[in-house]
Amino acid sequence: MLRKELGKGTLSRIYLITSNRHKVEEANIALKPFGIEVKQLHIKRLEIQSDDLVEIAIFSLREVINLVNERPLVVEDAGLFIPALKGFPGPYSSFVYKTIGCQGILKLMEGVEDRRAYFKSVVVYYDDDVGMKVFEGTVWGKIATEVRGTQGFGFDPIFIPEGSTRTFAEMGPEEKTKYSHRGRAFRALGYWIRNILEQQSK
């Protein structure tokens, strides 16, 4: 728990509930400069259907709080939003990836001039003292015209972040995390934890 750990002067470990090892790797890259290690907890999460990533993440975290002893707990939910497709696939990104995949999105985008898109990540932190705290990160970019690169996961091969000419799948995890929605959300968590630690040590 945050305050108990604070008594010892450091908070060195958080537990991310996910089956996705890439998320754990990226969260570790983002939080390492803050001295925080991210451990993976494999627990099946229930994901409700909702238009709101925050609601989905909070619901799934609430479901598992009493099932595990590890603290602090973190869940992360993310999605790809394409304005030309009215925000699709958004909160349905996981299902859409499993069904039509990157090729399906490229097909929907055929002949579409406005290729802008953004990824959004919602990170929900929980410990028994502080309760829940939500952090968000967004990265704008565009949908490529073909699948490019072999690294990462999900829609990485078709997303080119602003400021780069390469897709996320053409970057290593370190470089992706500099730009990414997940990097931004986890860094926001890192700054918040650092802030509390500094306040406590005054």
For ligand IMP, the closer CB: 2 or 143: 143
Concatenated DSSP letters of 153-194: STTGGGEEETT-SS-GGGS-HHHHHHH-HHHHHHHHHHHHHH
* Residue 154 beta carbon to ligand IMP: minimum distance, rounded to whole angstroms: 2
For ligand IMP, the closer CB: 97 or 186: 97
For ligand IMP, the closer CB: 11 or 80: 80
Q: Which residue has the tokens 């259907």?
A: 49
**Active site includes 128?**
no
CA distance 24 to 41: 10
> How far are the Cα atoms of 7, 10, 24, 41, 131 from residue 3, in angstroms, in the given order?
6, 10, 24, 22, 12
- In our burial notation (b when 16+ CB lie closer than 10 A, e otherwise), range 111-128 reads eeeebebbbbbbbbbbbe
Segment contacting ligand IMP by CB under 6 A, of 8-16, 60-68, 78-86, 126-134 = 78-86
Q: Give yes or no for residue 78 binding ligand IMP (CB under 6 A).
A: yes
Among the listed residues 51, 52, 77, 114, the single catalytic one is 77
Q: Mask: binding to ligand IMP, 125-164, rule CB under 6 A, as x and -?
A: ---------------------------xxxxx--------
* Residue 97 beta carbon to ligand IMP: minimum distance, rounded to whole angstroms: 3
CA distance 199 to 89: 41
- Out of 40, 50, 94, 151, point to the residue binding ligand IMP (CB under 6 A): 94
Applying CB under 6 A, which residues contact ligand IMP? Answer: 20, 77-80, 93-94, 97, 119, 152-156, 168, 180, 182
